[in-house]
């Protein structure tokens, strides 16, 4: 063997050895880091979805006695459904974070409920739901059962991937229920069937979903609208659409506030939900001015807040066609409309409201009024009569004239206040059981939050309720319930979970697209309406001409003059329909042009920039080499 061959073999062996050592080092580093840095994570998601929120950390600090969490998962379910397998890893990792933060007080057990095993019997006994996984009838499980030292139990029957965005919320809610000994009592008073029960003509109706959400964190106590006194065990009174309340009931609310009670009130100039069975339909106004004014605020009478910037897109019928238009009476409010400094609003992403009212501070009021929710600058007060029947969505948009001011939709009221009943109980004989003590001046600062919309509590505006294996599964698409629960938590002074609830909803409005579309609609909606009216008129005339036909011997015989009119009308219809299509095309022309440019930048522009940069780099490097050669020659 020549020295040259020996040198080649040595280099080859050294290379193989280096590769082998690199692989060993790579595996060693991975194994070491996986164990040593298991608790360390880098979360680059928007909203830090994989990082525990401050609200969760506060709840976990409350865990003083052990909580045993049993996570059941059938591996065969993961083999058949990769989505569930991935979601299981997400649930397991999150629960492990809970366990690490509580230092042993949160005990996690991972169980495999194989068919006919003790673990399957355990899952069934806790009430978990199994799904068929094969033809033999075996069931697969993916649920959770947790219990505390007093044998209180909370379960998740089956983890649905559709609620993955709300996973931390669900797990923290479950932990809070097991860690808290006694829930704070919230009284709910409403003239609407918000608390459920038997309704004439509708049978038994469940509680609204928003009340179910409140019940997860508080003890909900329904209060009749004709109650003569608010009991002392009520921490916060939630009043929804007060209407036709007796003087005794108003006095009871007044004294509750004067004595230090907290109130969350929902009022509305046009409560669309004030219909049969509590469904969106007939509109009615709240009647609460007497108490509101004593607290320093009033609901602007007969006026609804309209807003171009936050108007919701809805389907409307124009003639025989279905189109989409901005409904300035229904608003989708985002962080720019909220007081981000207030703890109730700080982490909310989206609130949907319907025909909301306007709150104004009364003159010479002693209380402090802080707006929590406001419209944008392109807003306008609209007469409530426009919404009393079927609203003209396109007509409201066409007539809209921005006022250039923000309108307050919700406000926090604090400070000293005087009783709305300075002389005491209006009819002392009507309530002999009530306390004789009358408070004229509030004991300290009052704490009240007033929201000028009732419809926001209805399911239609914030949640889709699905049926999952016989169980109701609410999937929110707006933070309406989060706002309500957060306001109640804030008023009671409890630990807020708003941080984790608010980040479950993600909304990215395209402001430029919205402005282009609205500008185009303002230009062309008037022309579209004129053409549609002319088209309807021609259709009506054509129908009259055809009805004037004379039938003889089973054949249609028309006068020559009428036949000419019919042909002319048909030609006119074709012309109008063509013009109408052109107008509708113009509505989307600017948006389509913007869409084309965006596609160009996303698909072609970036690769072109990279290619150009590569060419510049290559030519620069080649030029420098040539320059170096010239210099050394």
Cα–Cα dist 628/631, whole Å:
5
The two three-digit tokens of residue 109, written as one number: 């057990």
Structure confidence at residue 510 (pLDDT) = 59
* pLDDT at residue 165 greater than cutoff 50: yes
Q: Report the share of the chain in percent with pLDDT over 70.
A: 70
Cα–Cα dist 49/474, whole Å:
20
What's this model's pTM, rounded to 2 decimal places? 0.67
Cα–Cα dist 93/91, whole Å:
6
- Ranges 448-462, 547-561, 590-604, most confident: 448-462
Q: What is the mean pLDDT of residues 598-615?
A: 73
Structure confidence at residue 632 (pLDDT) = 42
Structure confidence at residue 42 (pLDDT) = 55
Q: What is the mean pLDDT of residues 209-236?
A: 92
How far from the centroid of its chain's Cα atoms is residue 398's Cα? 28
Structure confidence at residue 258 (pLDDT) = 95
Cα–Cα dist 20/6, whole Å:
21
What would the pLDDT profile of 386-417 be if each residue is shown by its tens digit? Answer: 997 788 898 898 889 999 999 999 999 999 99
The two three-digit tokens of residue 456, written as one number: 């926001």
441 burial class (0-12, 13-18, 19+ CB within 10 angstroms)? exposed
- How does DSSP assign 410-432, residue by residue? EEEEEE--B-S-TT--TTGGG-T
Structure confidence at residue 449 (pLDDT) = 97
Structure confidence at residue 553 (pLDDT) = 38
The larger pLDDT score, comparing residue 610 to residue 407, is at 407
DSSP letter assigned to residue 603:
I
Q: Which CATH architecture has domain 54-167?
A: 3-Layer(aba) Sandwich (3.40)
* pLDDT at residue 46 greater than cutoff 60: no
Detail the DSSP E strand segments found in 17-120: 67-73, 106-111
> 210: which residues sit within 8 A by CB, 6+ positions away?
194, 457, 459, 462, 480, 481, 484
516 burial class (0-12, 13-18, 19+ CB within 10 angstroms)? middle
The values of phi and psi at residue 165, to 5°, are: -65, -20
The two three-digit tokens of residue 555, written as one number: 């054949």
Cα–Cα dist 118/132, whole Å:
19
The larger pLDDT score, comparing residue 330 to residue 596, is at 330
CA within 13 Å, CB half, 342: 23
Structure confidence at residue 41 (pLDDT) = 56
CB 97 within 8 A of CB 91: no
* pLDDT at residue 248 greater than cutoff 70: yes
* pLDDT at residue 492 greater than cutoff 80: yes
Structure confidence at residue 555 (pLDDT) = 45
Structure confidence at residue 209 (pLDDT) = 93
> 229: which residues sit within 8 A by CB, 6+ positions away?
252, 431, 433, 434, 435
The two three-digit tokens of residue 203, written as one number: 């049978």
* 65-79, 261-275, 568-582, range with the lowest pLDDT: 568-582
Structure confidence at residue 551 (pLDDT) = 45
Where does 224-383 have alpha helices with state H?
A: 247-258, 289-294
* 285-294, 403-412, 540-549, 599-608, range with the lowest pLDDT: 540-549
Q: Whole-number mean pLDDT of the chain?
A: 80
Q: What is the mean pLDDT of residues 132-137?
A: 83
CB 119 within 8 A of CB 142: no
* pLDDT at residue 537 greater than cutoff 80: no
- Give 590's pLDDT tier (boundaries 50, 70, 90): low
* pLDDT at residue 73 greater than cutoff 70: yes
The number of helix segments (H) and strand segments (E) in the chain equals 15, 25
The two three-digit tokens of residue 545, written as one number: 């001409």
Map out the domains of the chain as residue ranges: 54-167, 182-300+357-374+405-427+439-508, 514-603
* 7-11, 374-378, 604-608, range with the lowest pLDDT: 7-11
Distances (CA, A) of 231 to 31, 247, 253: 61, 17, 10
> 206: which residues sit within 8 A by CB, 6+ positions away?
196
Structure confidence at residue 630 (pLDDT) = 43
Structure confidence at residue 292 (pLDDT) = 96
* 153-157, 340-344, 499-503, 607-611, range with the lowest pLDDT: 499-503
Structure confidence at residue 504 (pLDDT) = 52
């Amino acid at each position: 063997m020549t020295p040259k061959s020996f040198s080649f073999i040595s280099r080859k062996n050294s290379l193989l050895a280096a590769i082998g050592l690199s692989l060993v080092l790579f595996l060693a580093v991975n194994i070491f880091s996986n164990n040593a840095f298991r608790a360390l994570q880098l979360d680059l998601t928007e909203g830090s979805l994989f990082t525990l929120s401050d609200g969760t950390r506060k709840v976990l600090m409350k865990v003083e006695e052990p909580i045993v969490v049993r996570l059941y998962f059938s591996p065969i379910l993961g083999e058949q459904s990769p989505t569930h397998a991935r979601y299981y890893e997400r649930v397991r990792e999150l629960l492990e974070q809970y366990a690490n933060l509580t230092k042993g007080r949160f005990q996690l057990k991972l169980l495999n409920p194989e068919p006919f095993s003790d673990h399957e019997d355990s899952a069934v006994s806790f009430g978990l739901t199994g799904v068929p996984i094969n033809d033999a009838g075996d069931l697969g499980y993916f649920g959770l059962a947790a219990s505390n030292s007093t044998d209180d139990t909370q379960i998740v029957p089956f983890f649905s991937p559709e609620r993955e965005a709300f996973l931390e919320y669900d797990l923290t809610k479950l932990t809070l229920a097991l860690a808290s000994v006694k829930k704070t009592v919230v009284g709910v008073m409403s003239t609407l069937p918000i608390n459920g029960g038997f309704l004439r003509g509708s049978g038994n109706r469940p509680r609204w979903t928003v009340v179910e959400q409140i019940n997860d964190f508080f003890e909900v106590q329904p209060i009749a609208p004709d109650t003569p006194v608010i009991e002392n065990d009520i921490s916060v009174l939630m009043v929804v659409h007060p209407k036709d309340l007796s003087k005794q009931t108003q006095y009871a609310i007044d004294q509750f506030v004067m004595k230090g009670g907290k109130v969350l009130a929902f009022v509305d100039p046009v409560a669309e939900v004030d219909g049969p069975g509590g469904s969106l339909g007939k509109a009615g106004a709240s009647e609460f001015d007497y108490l509101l004014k004593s607290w320093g605020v009033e609901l602007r009478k007969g006026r609804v807040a309209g807003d171009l910037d936050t108007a919701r897109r809805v389907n409307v019928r124009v003639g025989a066609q279905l189109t989409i238009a901005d409904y300035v009476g229904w608003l989708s409010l985002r962080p720019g409309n909220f007081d981000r400094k207030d703890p109730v609003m700080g982490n909310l992403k989206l609130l949907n409201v319907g025909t909301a009212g306007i709150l104004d501070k009364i003159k010479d009021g002693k209380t402090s009024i802080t707006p929590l929710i406001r419209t944008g600058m392109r807003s306008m007060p609209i007469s409530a009569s426009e919404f009393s029947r079927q609203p003209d969505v396109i007509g409201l948009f066409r007539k809209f004239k921005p006022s250039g001011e923000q309108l307050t939709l919700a406000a926090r009221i604090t400070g000293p206040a005087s009783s709305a009943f300075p002389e005491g109980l209006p009819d002392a004989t009507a309530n002999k059981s009530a306390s004789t003590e009358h408070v004229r001046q509030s004991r300290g600062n009052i704490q009240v939050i007033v929201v000028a919309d009732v419809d926001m509590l209805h399911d239609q505006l914030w949640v889709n309720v699905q049926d999952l294996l016989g169980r109701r599964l609410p999937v929110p698409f707006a933070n309406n319930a989060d706002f309500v629960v957060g306001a109640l938590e804030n008023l009671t002074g409890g630990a807020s979970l708003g941080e984790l609830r608010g980040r479950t909803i993600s909304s990215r409005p395209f402001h430029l697209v919205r402005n282009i579309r609205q500008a185009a609609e303002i230009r062309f909606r008037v022309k579209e309406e004129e053409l549609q009216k002319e088209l309807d008129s021609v259709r009506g005339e054509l129908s009259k001409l055809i009805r004037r036909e004379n039938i003889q011997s089973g054949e249609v015989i028309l006068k020559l003059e009428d036949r000419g009119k019919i042909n002319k009308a048909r030609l006119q219809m074709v012309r109008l329909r063509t013009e109408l299509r052109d107008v509708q095309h113009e509505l989307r022309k600017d948006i389509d042009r913007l869409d084309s440019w965006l596609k160009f930048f996303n698909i072609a522009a970036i690769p072109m920039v990279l290619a150009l940069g590569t060419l510049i780099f290559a030519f620069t490097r080649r030029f420098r080499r040539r320059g170096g050669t010239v210099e050394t020659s």
